[in-house]
Amino acid sequence: MSKGLLALGTLGMLTLGTPAHAAIYSGNPATTFRIDRPQGDLTDGDVNVYKLRIHYCGGGYTDYSVKQWVDPVDGFSVTINGGNLCSATVFWDSDIVLHGNGFEIVAEPTLTSVSLDPIKDADVLPWHVTEGNPGAGTPQLLVELD
């Protein structure tokens, strides 16, 4: 599955008549998050993920504890409850260190939010170069639902 696409398989998606673009995800989808740049040039990284918050379109949210170090380029998955999902917020518990061929980027967000209705990547801000010359391209949080 490529970034930003929704696989229907066991997840299933029901489209509602109102409001426009609303979708209900059934079952317990595995939600996968990873970080890359538009160039796809990141090779590995390191970050401590504190929790994931899923926001519902009708109001309210559910928190999912993560509390683990992950390679954000490889990504991490959390199984969530289905429903009318609007967005997801990842709470970071450390700086995000990202490596590419000949460069290192450090991002320092406390949280990053992405839309789930529709699925849309989000910039990981703020960030700065600590080694090498990566050229232009902001790290982005990518999400997949499966």
pLDDT single digits (tens) 130-145: 999 999 999 999 999 9
Range in 4-8, 109-113, 118-122 the model is least confident about: 4-8
Domain assignment present for 1: no
- Indicate the pLDDT class of residue 91, thresholds 50, 70 and 90: very high
Query: What residue numbers bound the domain in which 87 lies?
Result: 13-145
Say if residues 79 and 65 touch (Cβ distance below 8 Å). no
In a domain, 6, yes or no: no
Longest dimension (CA), the chain: 51
Residue identified by tokens 């391209």 is: 137
81: CATH: 2.60.60
Tell whether omega for the bond before 139 is within 30 degrees of 0, i.e. cis: no
Per-residue burial over 98-136, b if 16 or more Cβ lie within 10 Å, else e, is: bbbeebebbbebeebebbbbebebbebeebeeeeeebee
The better pLDDT of the pair 8, 104 is held by 104
2 part of a folded domain:
no
> Is residue 32 scored above 70 in pLDDT?
yes
- What's the pLDDT band for 22 if we cut at 50, 70, 90? low
Asked if residue 5 belongs to a domain, the reply is no
Report the C-alpha gap between 64 and 47 in whole angstroms.
17
Question: In this structure, is residue 41 part of a structural domain?
Answer: yes
Overall average pLDDT of the 41-60 stretch: 97
Assigned domain for 43 exists = yes
Quick one: DSSP state of residue 110? S
The residue to which tokens 């290192």 are assigned:
104
Nearest by Cα to 97 from 58, 122, 131: 131
Higher pLDDT, residue 13 or 57: 57
